[in-house]
């Protein structure tokens, strides 16, 4: 019983959108879109699961004075401040969470602009550095495959900058060709294979064969 119900639910929930995919009839579509609108809400509810876990873990850390516990205080402070303004904002306290009509920032928006965005942007920007170190290490002509990788990367990098164009006008043309033909062909191959793999996985989930995500093991 405890094991069958979730599997049946998965089967029916999975059959609905597949049915609706082929059947344009209004009521079928309605069932599917209604379920969709429910699940968006379920995903919203789920965030609290994460919040609970974060608060638990960090409170524990502080209590036990575990290694690095002062940072747990900083984390919880960030969560409390932003969470408070965000929660209050949904009741239109402090003018909501966006900018006010006169263009001034609400506290939530201010923290977003001067805290969240620079932190996020800088973490993202670190990629430029990491690409440099990764390419230095990995693009080495050790064997046939690595040599192909190396040359494709070098040609494209040259083809993207004016310098490459000045050396030879073939660099940008070669870049375009590589991106448009062999690279595109490989990506198509990956996509077709991966889509089949995903569909097969989906079928196994709907049929209840794959169920480790439910913590139901592989069956007994």
Partner 1 sequence: MPGIGTWLAAFFTLCMLSFLYKDNPFFRLAESFFAGLSLGYYIGIVMNQTLKPNLFLPLVQDFHANWHLVFAAGLGIILYFRYIRRVAWVSRWALAVYVGYYVGVNMMQKLHGEVIPQVGDTMLSLSYHGIGTLWNLVMVIGVLSVLIYFYFSTEHRGVVGGVSRIGIWFLMISFGAAFGYTVMGRISLLIGRMVFLVNEWARPLIGHIT
Partner 2 sequence: MRNSVHLAKRFSVCWLCLTLVLMLSSARVQGQTAQTEPAGNSIPEPAPPVAGAVTASDTKSDEGGSITVKWTEPAGSKEMGLEYEVLRSDKQDGAYVPVGELSAGDSEYADTGLTDGQAYYYKVRSILGAVSADSEPSQAAFSKGNFFRFYRLNALVLLAVFSSAVLYYITRARKAKPIYIRKIAGLDAVDEAVGRATEMGKKMLYIPGIMSVDEIQTIASLAILGHIAKLSATYNADLEVPNKDPLTFAAARETVKEAYLEAGRPDLFREEMVNYVTYDQFAYTASVTGKMVRERPATNFLIGSFYAESLLLAETGQAIGAIQISGTAEVAQLPFFVVACDYTLIGEELYAASAYLSREPVLLGSIKGQDITKFLLIVALGLGVVLESIGIKFMATAFKMQ
Partner 3 sequence: MNLERIMQVDRRIIYLFVAVGTILPIIFVVGLPVSITPPVQMAFDRIENKLHEGDIVLVSFDYGPSSAPENAPMADAILRHCFSKGIKVVVIALYPLGGLSEAVNELNKVAAEFPQLKYGVDYVNLGYKDGAQAAMKKMAENIHEVFPTDVNGTPLDQLPLMKHIRTYKDMKLVVSLATGIIGEWWANLVNAQFRIPVIVGPTAVSAPKYYAYLEAKQMVGLLGGLKGASEYERLVIDKYPALAQVYSTPGLYTATKGMDVQSIVHLIMIAFILFGNVVYFTSKRKPRKAS
Residues that bind partner 2 in the complex, under the rule CB under 8 A: 7, 11, 15, 18-19, 21-26, 29, 39, 43, 46-51, 53-54, 57, 68, 116, 119-120, 123-124, 126-127, 130-131, 133-135, 137-139, 149, 187, 190-194, 196-210, 212-220
Judged by CB under 8 A, which stretch of 66-74, 83-91, 138-146, 204-212 contacts partner 3?
138-146
Give dist(CA 168, CA 178) in Å, integer: 16
Residue with smaller CB distance to partner 3, 19 or 139: 139
Find the shortest distance in angstroms from Cβ 102 to partner 2.
29
Under DSSP, the state recorded for 23 is -
**Angle between helix 117-138 and helix 144-160 axes, rounded to 10 deg:** 130
Could you say whether residue 3 binds partner 3 (CB under 8 A)? no
Residues 177-196 that bind partner 3 (CB under 8 A): 179-180
Vertex 38, ends 18 and 9: CA angle to 5°?
55
Find the shortest distance in angstroms from Cβ 76 to partner 3.
29
Is 15 within 8 Å of 206 (Cβ atoms)?
yes
Could you say whether residue 100 binds partner 3 (CB under 8 A)? no
38's CB contacts (< 8 A; 6+ apart) are none
Which of partner 2, partner 1, partner 3, none sits in contact with 165, Cβ below 5 to 8 A by type?
partner 3
Residue with smaller CB distance to partner 3, 45 or 129: 129
Could you say whether residue 91 binds partner 3 (CB under 8 A)? no
What per-residue string of b and e applies to 80-99 under the rule 16 or more CB within 10 Å gives b?
eebeebeebbeeeeebbbee
Find the shortest distance in angstroms from Cβ 152 to partner 2.
10
Is 143 within 8 Å of 150 (Cβ atoms)?
no
Region of 136 on the Ramachandran plot (φ > 0 left; ψ -120 to 50 alpha; else beta):
alpha
**Applying CB under 8 A, which residues contact partner 3?**
117, 121, 128-129, 131-133, 135-137, 139-142, 150, 153-154, 157-158, 160-163, 165-166, 176, 179-180
């Amino acid at each position: 019983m405890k094991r069958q119900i979730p599997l049946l639910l998965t089967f029916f929930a999975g059959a609905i959108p597949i049915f609706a995919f082929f059947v344009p009839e209004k009521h079928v579509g309605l069932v599917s879109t209604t379920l969709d609108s429910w699940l968006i809400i379920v995903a919203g509810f789920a965030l609290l699961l994460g919040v609970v876990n974060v608060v638990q873990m960090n409170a524990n850390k502080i209590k036990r004075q575990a290694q690095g516990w002062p940072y747990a205080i900083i984390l919880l402070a960030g969560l409390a401040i932003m969470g408070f303004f965000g929660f209050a904002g949904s009741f239109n306290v402090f003018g909501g969470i966006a900018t006010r009509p006169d263009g001034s920032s609400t506290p939530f928006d201010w923290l977003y602009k001067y805290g969240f965005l620079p932190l996020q942007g800088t973490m993202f920007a670190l990629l430029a550095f990491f690409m440099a170190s990764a390419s230095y290490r990995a693009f080495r002509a050790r064997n046939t495959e690595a040599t192909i990788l190396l040359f494709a990367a070098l040609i494209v990098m040259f083809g993207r900058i004016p310098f490459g164009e000045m050396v030879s006008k073939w660099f940008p043309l070669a870049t375009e060709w590589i991106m448009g033909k062999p690279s595109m062909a490989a990506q198509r191959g990956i996509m077709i294979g991966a889509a089949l793999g995903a569909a097969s996985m989906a079928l196994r989930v709907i049929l209840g064969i794959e169920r480790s995500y439910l913590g139901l093991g592989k069956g007994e």
